[in-house]
Amino acid sequence: MHKLTVAQGTALSAGAVLGAGVIALPAVAAAQAGPASLVAWLALVLLSAPLAWVFGQLGARFPDGGGVSGYVRRAFGTRAADSVGWIFYFAVPLGAPAACSFAGGYVADAVGGGRLTSMATFVGIVGVVFVLNWLGLHVSGRVQLVLSATLAVLLLITVGAALPHADLANLSPFAPAGWGAVGSAAALLVWAFAGWEAVSSLSPDYADPRRDVPRATMLAVVVVGVLYLSIAWASVVVLGPSLATSQAPLADLLAAGFGQAARPVIAVVAVLLTLGTVNAYIAGAARLGAALAREGALPHRLFGSVRRSLVFVVAAAGLAELVPIELHTLMLLVTGGLTLVYVLGTAAAVRLLPGRAERAAAGIALVSVSILLWLTGWPALLGLGVAIGAVAYRAWADRARSARAVGAAARPSAAEESSPED
């Protein structure tokens, strides 16, 4: 069996984090904090180092394809692990409409149509993903990696083409909404950095996990950090105040370097990138739901097969698309859940990692993600509610199984019922 090298692991780890969200997040963050959103980008890059390192250490010491859920189960038991599974699973129907809206903005920028075009983009992307997964025609890991590499190259080309048009006057005023808005922007930018938990799930595929996982992880942090900071800086200094209202910031940057003809091209690329991202979300969620049902964490009748789980995820995503929720709120609902997963994962690391230095790094990561969870505000309550729901369902299911077992034991056998009385 082929084992991952450090270079391959770096590419896969970076690919797990690089996502289609970055095509819109520079504008989303700038709308919150103006040029000071650069501080939020930098803070998330710096947070990524201890967070990714902690997950890399967990993967190196406890190779487990279950990732965060496996570590939380090892540290805190089944019900805490159920909470992680539920949060991931129920975040996907909210994340898919948000991700599709990013691509929809680029399509609308190229052809017009506004909200109607955005909804048509959602239907097209999710419809294709549903058919692919229903038929079992999975997008391979290589294709996903190619899509992530395409995004990386696109970001580099965009920065290179746009920077000659930079104007440092666009950095003033630096914090028009005040410094508190930087925290709000950081809570949103968790979207762009979600994926570090996947680092640990790759650990069993390395030839020498203890040596190679930390190396690949930290190299991936550098790659992701350079790409994200470059595009954020270029967006602010080139587009200026118009960035906060842009629905297609990468298209605006490319147009600054190559002219308006770049807009339709970038719209096609945005749709393909989002298709890959949404496919990864929904394909993974469909399997996660079926796995949770097999483990007794979800009702088997509703979620017990991949297809049934897939139908639920797509139907719930369609409902979320129709409900009039602002994109800002929708993103916070998702990032709040993901941040709660990081809180549980880093808390597990504090308990599981053996060395004092390792536990200290895990503690730093735990404090940092806890602050991010607090900055999310009330939308974080959804993630907490989902976690409570997972614990409550497991308790109810365990009681129901115990009651059935007691009833079966108390029920007389057929032979006893048919035997004559003395």
Query: What percentage of the chain exceeds 70 in pLDDT?
Result: 93
According to the model, what pLDDT value does residue 87 have?
Answer: 93
pLDDT tens digits for range 107-166: 988 888 878 888 999 999 999 989 988 887 666 556 767 777 787 888 888 889 889 999
Whether the CB-CB separation of 73 and 66 falls below 8 Å is answered with: yes
pLDDT tens digits for range 92-104: 999 999 999 999 9
| Mean per-residue pLDDT over the chain, rounded | 86
325 within domain boundaries: yes
Residue 346 belongs to domain with CATH number = 1.20.1740.10
pLDDT tens digits for range 380-407: 999 999 999 999 999 998 888 887 777 7
According to the model, what pLDDT value does residue 65 have?
Answer: 60
Residue with tokens 């925290």: 183
According to the model, what pLDDT value does residue 182 have?
Answer: 94
Query: Which two tokens mark 344?
Result: 């549980």
- Tell me how many helices (H) and strands (E) the chain has: 18, 0
Could you tell me the residue range of the domain that residue 12 belongs to?
Answer: 6-396
According to the model, what pLDDT value does residue 313 have?
Answer: 94
According to the model, what pLDDT value does residue 83 have?
Answer: 94
pLDDT tens digits for range 16-49: 788 778 888 999 999 999 999 999 999 999 998 8
pLDDT tens digits for range 351-383: 999 888 889 999 999 999 999 999 999 999 999
Element (H, E) at 164: none
Whether the CB-CB separation of 187 and 379 falls below 8 Å is answered with: no
378 within domain boundaries: yes
Mean pLDDT in residue range 300-316: 92
According to the model, what pLDDT value does residue 212 have?
Answer: 82
Q: Is the pLDDT of residue 310 over 90?
A: yes
106 within domain boundaries: yes
403 within domain boundaries: no
Higher-pLDDT residue of 3, 120? 120
According to the model, what pLDDT value does residue 393 have?
Answer: 93
Query: pTM of the prediction?
Result: 0.85
389 within domain boundaries: yes
313 within domain boundaries: yes
Q: Is the pLDDT of residue 420 over 80?
A: no
Mean pLDDT in residue range 339-343: 93
According to the model, what pLDDT value does residue 121 have?
Answer: 93
Higher-pLDDT residue of 8, 379? 379
- Whole-number Å distance between alpha carbons of 28 and 189: 9
Residue with tokens 């504090």: 350
* Residue in 394, 381, 347, 392 with CA at minimum distance from that of residue 74: 347
pLDDT tens digits for range 161-183: 889 999 999 999 999 999 999 99
334 within domain boundaries: yes
b/e 136-165 (16+ beta carbons within 10 angstroms → b): eeebeeeebbebbeebbebbebbbebbbee
- State how many domains the chain has: 1
46 within domain boundaries: yes
- Whole-number Å distance between alpha carbons of 44 and 42: 5
According to the model, what pLDDT value does residue 169 have?
Answer: 94
- Whole-number Å distance between alpha carbons of 311 and 303: 9
Q: Is the pLDDT of residue 309 over 70?
A: yes
